[in-house]
Amino acid sequence: MNPGPFTLDPQLDADTIAIGDLPLCRVLLNDDANYPWLILVPRRPGLTELIDLGEADRATLMREIAQVSAALKVHTGCDKLNVAALGNVVAQLHVHIIARFRTDAAWPNPVWGTAKRFPHEKAARETLIAALRGALQIPAPQS
């Protein structure tokens, strides 16, 4: 069965702001001001697991994870990166890349289900997005 064109999962769409597209992945900012938290979504339809991606796409995904991780680490000066593909709630394949600090709301626990989410203040959010677009060399999405 042809899964049709790629469309972003509605829950991911509701929770995030699009930073832009790398060759494989859409890069999203999770609008939770507790943490600098990015999400990569491979723009391929019908995927739920990493192993649903073909081998070449998996290699590209690893390169994009590394590129986004490095940009996030440089920009935030975080103590640790957390990288995870879970997908128990939102089935569409997506990879979390989260900048963690020893002082953050969940440390040293994982972020899911701990601190109540709250949105970024608009100016701070725009500054973060602009900095990441610059670091990743991706233009703003057409929308």
Q: Where along the sequence are the contacts to a second copy (CB under 8 A)?
A: 48-51, 55, 58-59, 61-63, 65-66, 69-70, 73, 80-89, 100, 107-110, 112-113
Provide, rounded to whole angstroms, the least separation between the CB of residue 87 and a second copy. Answer: 6
**3 vs 54, which CB is nearer to a second copy?**
54
- How distant, in Å, are the alpha carbons of 4, 15, 17, 63, 129 from that of 38? 26, 11, 10, 15, 10
d(CA 15, CA 71): 21
**18 vs 107, which CB is nearer to a second copy?**
107
**59 vs 124, which CB is nearer to a second copy?**
59
- Which residue is it, tokens 């697991």? 49
Provide, rounded to whole angstroms, the least separation between the CB of residue 12 and a second copy. Answer: 16
Output the 3-class SS for 109-131.
CCCCCCCCCCCCCHHHHHHHHHH
**86 vs 124, which CB is nearer to a second copy?**
86
CA neighbor of 80 nearest in space, from 50, 39, 111: 111
Provide, rounded to whole angstroms, the least separation between the CB of residue 121 and a second copy. Answer: 26
